[in-house]
Amino acid sequence: MDPAWKHPLFGQFERKGSTFFSTLTIPAFKKFSYDTGYSNARASTGKVVLAFGPFLWKEELAEPTRDMVKLAEKALADPDKLVGLVAEALWEEFNGRGPTTGTCWYDDMDTVNKSFRAAKLPPPDKPQDILSALQLTAIMIFTQLWKYPRPVVVLDFHAAFEVEHGLCVVTDGERVLGTGYTGEPEIGKGPD
């Protein structure tokens, strides 16, 4: 495929339909060190797909919008901060604090601990311990998300505590807006 779009920092992107994608190497993402045990998803090397695309399938995107590009630049300007945001947000969810999207791990540290042990990982005692149960596979910048009318970043993970469906984390580059199962990104809401 010929390059379809170029970013001065992220480089050349290929295009498939209305989605633009490239593979980046970001050393900070090695901290997401979960090894699934499968040959096609070994422990992270820091390589991750970065994609820009529409959220709704009927949406056409000639190239990433200025707002999408600014969001990607903001989110990836400090990868260590992004890693920390994910760990803190999941720790809060595991302990029943903060907004929820109705995931099975919300306020269920017992099940989370069992999942860690099943993956031969020590149960987490602090946010940073969660990193060993995550492997980042893709970063998607969507034009919008359901009723959220602005671009968002969706981080897609293999997760030891959700091996069946995987995990996605939604962020605006400053804070985690919600989590969900892979392919089902959501913005969290307060307890009912």
Q: What is the dihedral sign for C-alpha 190, 94, 164, 84? A: positive
Q: Which burial class, exposed, middle or buried, applies to 179 when counting CB atoms under 10 A from its CB (0-12, 13-18, 19+)?
A: buried
Q: Which helix (H) or strand (E) holds 70?
A: helix 66-76
* DSSP sequence for 79-107: HHHHHHHHHHHHHHHHTT-S-B---TTTT
pLDDT, tens digit only, all 192 positions of the chain: 456 899 999 999 999 988 999 999 999 999 999 988 776 666 778 899 999 999 877 788 889 999 999 999 999 999 999 999 999 999 999 999 977 778 888 999 999 999 999 999 999 999 999 999 999 999 999 999 888 899 999 999 999 999 888 899 999 999 999 998 887 777 776 544
Q: Which residues contact 4 (CB under 8 A, 6 or more apart)?
A: 13, 14, 15, 20, 63
Alpha helices by DSSP H, 95-185:
109-118
Q: Please state the pTM of the whole predicted model.
A: 0.91
